[in-house]
Amino acid sequence: MSSIVADRYQLLAPVGKGATGVVWRAHDQLLERDVALKEIALPPGPDASHRRRKVVREARMAARLSHRGIVTVHNLVEEPERLWIVMEFLEALTLHDTVVQAGPLPVELVAKLGRRLLEALRHAHDGGVVHRDIKPANIMLTGDRVVLADFGFAAFEGAATTSMRGTPAFIAPEALQGRGGTREADMWSFGATLYMAVEGRTPFRTVNSIAALIEALREPPRAPRRAGALEPLLRGLLRKDPMSRLGSEQAYQMLVNLRRHSAA
């Protein structure tokens, strides 16, 4: 593989691996700036065209969303055996890495992160896009920005999405029944992400297998121990019935009210 992509992007070093590809730090020699390149290898045979269509769809969905809380897509490069999504490069830690290194985060900080993340998620939903893989590893923290990344599993709202996608510990229980591609499912994942941030653990004991989804479907979440004023929000987001789950407007208002009470 050449270290120069499209006669323009010089690959510098791999910086991570997402659910759908390897992410590289690269230098845009034309505009003289660093960018992130997500490399997606195409499988051999007839599956390549299907995979190509999915990658193009991912790039288009992310590119249509313009918000400081969503990673910016600059370009899409197509090659015979792979594709490259060109995105802004962020010097950032993920929320997952932050919790691993620092432990459970303070309630006030998690509420602040939650407000900014929810603003980005509401923008995506207003644009007709459901993310389907919200989790701490897909939340980038840099400066005063909270950035939602990796739209590899995203779908247009209302599209047929019977296949299960995402990370078991953060997937809504209805996804086990093939009903995961909705705003309500994203709100469950948002709640599980905030739970992890403030508690330092996932809402359920099982983390990385199908057993996590079965537990989420049958058992109540573990009672929060550190959430404090965030507990009613977490309980409302982690309701098993998607129709009774808190929506984005309700959740956002609760976060705003929590900030007002903290400032009082």
List all residues 6 or more positions away from 85 whose beta carbon is below 8 Å from its beta carbon: 21, 37, 38, 40, 55, 58, 59, 62, 73, 75, 76
Residue of 133, 144, 150, 186 marked active site: 133
Joined together, the tokens standing for residue 66 give: 């313009």
Q: Where are the alpha helices (DSSP H) in 64-173?
A: 95-102, 107-126
54 marked ligand binding residue: no
133 has catalytic annotation: yes
The DSSP result for 4-52, as a single string, is EETTTEEEEEEEEE-SS-EEEEEEETTTTEEEEEEEEEPPSTTHHHHHH
Yes or no: say if 118 and 255 are a contact pair by the CB < 8 Å rule: yes
Q: How far apart are CA 216 and CA 235, in angstroms?
A: 13
> Phi and psi (nearest 5°) for 138?
-105, 15
Where in the sequence numbering do the catalytic residues fall? 133
**Annotated binding-site positions for ATP:** 38
